[in-house]
Homo-oligomer: A and B are copies of this chain.
Amino acid sequence: MAKANPEPRLTKKAYDARVADVRADLVHMQVQLKNAPFPVLVVVAGVGAAGKGDVVNVLNAWLDPRGVETFAFQEPTDEERERPAMWRFWRCLPPHGRIAIYAGGWHTEALREDPRSPRDLTEFDTALRRIARFEDQLTADGVLIVKIWLQLTKDDQRARLHELEADERTAWRITAEDWKSHRDYDRLSRLADTMRRATQRPGAPWHVINAADPRARNLEVADKILTRFRAHYRTHKTVAPIAKPRRTAPLRAAGLRRLLALPLDQHVGSGGYEEKRDKWLGKLNRIVRTANQARRSIVWVFEGWDAAGKGGAIRRLTDAIDARDSRVIPISKPTDEEKAHHYLWRFWRHVPRAGMATIYDRSWYGRVLVERLEGFAREVEWRRAFSEMNEFERELVEHGVIVIKFWLHISKEEQLRRFRNREDTDYKRHKINDEDWRNRRKWAAYETAVGDMIALTQTRFAPWHLIPANNKRHARLEIIKTSCQMIEAALAAKK
């Protein structure tokens, strides 16, 4: 075979001379990165025989191995298959200050399906949009994503396959599959073009690198990483302090209006309440078991005013569900591992396996409530969170998870009554502290934030249920009934 690549290759001598500098630069990069408030993701993808594995290994050899981790994605494990598609990638995200190298990863997985039928193509499209959103969320959060596409012309690919086959040390790597892909080069190229176009994001562009000369390829990959890092580090090396939040003005007044219009004067007396409740709990028990058998997971989100009765309502639910199939995740301050990741990471990590139920006692919505009002997130962050949370829930629902969101609403007077009662009752005193009183003084601001939340995260697939909760019995019945109906509808829709 004639050499397909007519350009002169980089000599070993010229290569070695440059490698020393590149290595020093890469390690210097890692030293800077170590205390930076962001991680670096390097994706290595490309056509067959372009040397993805070699590039991954070279990068690992050049970098200080203590600050880098490499992930290769084979077949998903059963724990991964039982969760939304992106879960396996979320769980492999590095914390701030570290580098992750993905040999393949999400793009390669999308391509591996090799869509042919129209139905496949629709799924391919969905996968690409999911990837684009995933990367958008990460880059918005300050993550540096460097995506490398190793390219070979068809002739170069053929030459490279022959070259690898001729060498006994590498011959074992070439399979019939590789030659099949080679014959299908043009179609696969178009597919890859489509993939790259769909996932070409402002903060995460593709770097297409000619891989015909392995030495030049290695240097160019390192060069791209260094260039991108330097530019990113300049603008992201420190986190500016968050400005004191301004007066809370509604973004979408319709939400606040909906909230204020909620009637709170329902009364359910104690007479007959327990029978009614138990009837519905029995129903809930059966429908949750049916969902479990159908391997459908359920995610409950409980939000509401302090003392609105979230805890009590959750207890009624858990009473009716087999404890072995459910978890309650109480959300308070993030741990330091959580703080070193995207804010949604700490919710992703608890996404249930197939058939299991997770009850979030407070949730990701803290981003647009307490974090918005207390200035724990900057305005640009909590503003984009509305759509990020919608996307998160969309991914859950697309995977078949049933998402049920409750806002428990009480009047300001009712809250005061309950706070006082907690202070006066010995065994309830632990449930009330200064922070509760502080939050209460910001009632109006919270009302606005809640209004925006229910307006901007009201989706067809994960609607809000506003529960009037001045009367606890009423609230609990509503929650149990609504849960039954939502699960029933979801099971019926996907049969």
**Residues on A facing B (Cβ under 8 Å):** 24, 27-28, 31, 53, 56-57, 59-61, 64-72, 77-79, 101, 103, 311, 314-315, 318-319, 322-328, 330, 335-337, 359, 361, 427, 430
The complex places the Cα of A325 from the Cα of B337 at a distance, in Å, of 24
The answer to whether A64 and B311 touch across the interface, beta carbons within 8 angstroms, is: yes
Question: Would A322 and B66 count as touching, CB distance under 8 A?
Answer: no
* A325, B323: Cα distance in complex, Å: 37
Please state the number of chain copies in the assembly.
Answer: 2
Q: Is the interface of A mostly helix, strand, loop or mixed?
A: helix
Contact check, B315 vs A65: say whether CB atoms are below 8 A apart: yes
Docked pose: A77 CA to B356 CA in angstroms: 15
Which B residues touch A319, using CB under 8 A?
Answer: 61
Q: Which of B28, B31, B335, B427 contacts A28 (CB 8 A)?
A: B427
Name the residue on B nearest A431 (C-beta). B31
Whether A427 contacts B322 in the complex (CB less than 8 A), given A65-B314, A311-B64, A327-B69, comes out as no
In the assembly, what is the distance between CA of A481 and CA of B367, in Å? 53
Question: Which of A60, A65, A315, A336 has its CB near the most chain B CB atoms (within 10 A)?
Answer: A65
By a CB distance below 8 angstroms, the chain B residues around A325 are 72
Partner among B311, B328, B337 whose Cβ is within 8 Å of the Cβ of A337: B337
Chain B nearest Cβ from A74, distance in angstroms = 9
Residue among A66, A69, A326, A430 facing the most chain B CB atoms (10 A cut-off): A66
Q: Of B67, B323, B427, which contacts A57 at CB under 8 A?
A: B323
* 10 extra interface residue pairs, beta carbon distance < 8 Å, beyond A28-B427, A56-B324, A66-B330: A61-B319, A64-B311, A65-B318, A65-B359, A67-B330, A70-B323, A70-B326, A78-B78, A335-B336, A335-B337
Q: List 15 A-B contacts (CB under 8 A).
A: A28-B427, A53-B324, A59-B323, A60-B323, A65-B314, A66-B330, A67-B330, A69-B328, A70-B323, A70-B324, A77-B77, A103-B323, A103-B324, A335-B335, A335-B336
A324-B74 Cα distance, complex, nearest whole Å: 10
Q: In whole angstroms, how far apart are the Cα atoms of A322 and B56 in the complex? A: 9
- Indicate if the CB atoms of B24 and A427 lie closer than 8 Å: yes
Known: A65-B315, A77-B78, A337-B337. A57 touches B322 (CB 8 A): yes
Chain B residues with Cβ below 8 Å from A28 are 427
Query: Contacts A66-B361, A311-B66, A335-B336; is A61 near B318 (CB within 8 Å)?
Result: yes
The 8 Å CB contact of A27, one of B67, B103, B335, B427, is: B427
Q: Which of A60, A72, A79, A361 has the most CB of B within 10 A?
A: A60
Write the chain B residue with the least CB distance to A332. B66
Report the nearest B residue to A325, measured CB to CB: B72
Chain B residues with CB under 8 A of A66 = 311, 314, 328, 330, 361
What B residues does A315 contact at CB under 8 A? 61, 64-65
Query: How far, in angstroms, from A427 to B328 measured CA to CA in the complex?
Result: 49
Could you tell me the distance between the alpha carbons of A314 and B67 in the complex, rounded to whole angstroms? 12
CA distance A136 to B359 in the complex (A): 33
